[in-house]
Structure 1
Amino acid sequence: MKVNVEVDCTPEEARRLMGLPDLTPIHEAYVAKMQDTIDNGLRPEMFETMIKNWAPMGEAGVAFWRRLFEAGTKPGG
């Protein structure tokens, strides 16, 4: 026997149905802080420090993205 269930709901409705917290205020504060930092004269070294502090997995996450971008910018790649 095979049973298929199709649920038609918005992401907000799904979040509430599963009892997950609404992280919208945290997301908005995070984006506002990034925008404020960029608007107030962000230097490259400041950006790297900020990302290291905010990025998932800290330094390992930054190293992953650095390798990814370096691989994408190599000639013939």
Structure 2
Amino acid sequence: MKITVDLDCTPEELRSFLGLPDVRPMQQAMMSQIQERMESSLNAVDPETMFKVWLPAGVQGMEQLQKLFWSHFATSGGRPKET
């Protein structure tokens, strides 16, 4: 036996029916705090410093990858290895 139930309601109505909390006020407060912090950091630092703070692992990883490529090309003379 197969039973199908179709509900026609908004997400807010469903959350209320299931007893889930309304998190919109908390989300709005958090987003305004994040926006204020981003705006203050944009005004305070230059782009290079900002990227180092936001993406430290990514930037360092790219620098390490670039150094690896350059060292490989320097040792192989830019030619692919023969197999």
What is the TM-score of this pair, normalised by structure 2?
0.51
Name 2:46's counterpart in structure 1. none
Percent identical residues: 38
1:21-59 alpha-carbon deviations (Å, 9 max, x no partner): 1111110011001100111124342x46xxxxxxxxxxx
For 1:12, the aligned partner's letter is E
Uncovered stretches (5+) of structure 1, i.e. residues with no partner: 49-62, 71-77
For 1:19, the aligned partner's letter is G
What is the TM-score of this pair, normalised by structure 1?
0.54
- Quote the Cα distance in structure 2 between the aligned partners of 1:15 and 1:28: 18
Aligned residues: CA RMSD: 2.2
What is the aligned length?
50
Uncovered stretches (5+) of structure 2, i.e. residues with no partner: 43-49, 63-83
For 2:14, the aligned partner's letter is A
CA displacement at 1:12 relative to structure 2: 0.3
- Quote the Cα distance in structure 2 between the aligned partners of 1:2 and 1:36: 52
- Quote the Cα distance in structure 2 between the aligned partners of 1:25 and 1:8: 25
Q: Is it true that 1:33 corresponds to 2:33 in the alignment? A: yes
The structure number with the bigger radius of gyration is 2
Name 1:14's counterpart in structure 2. 14
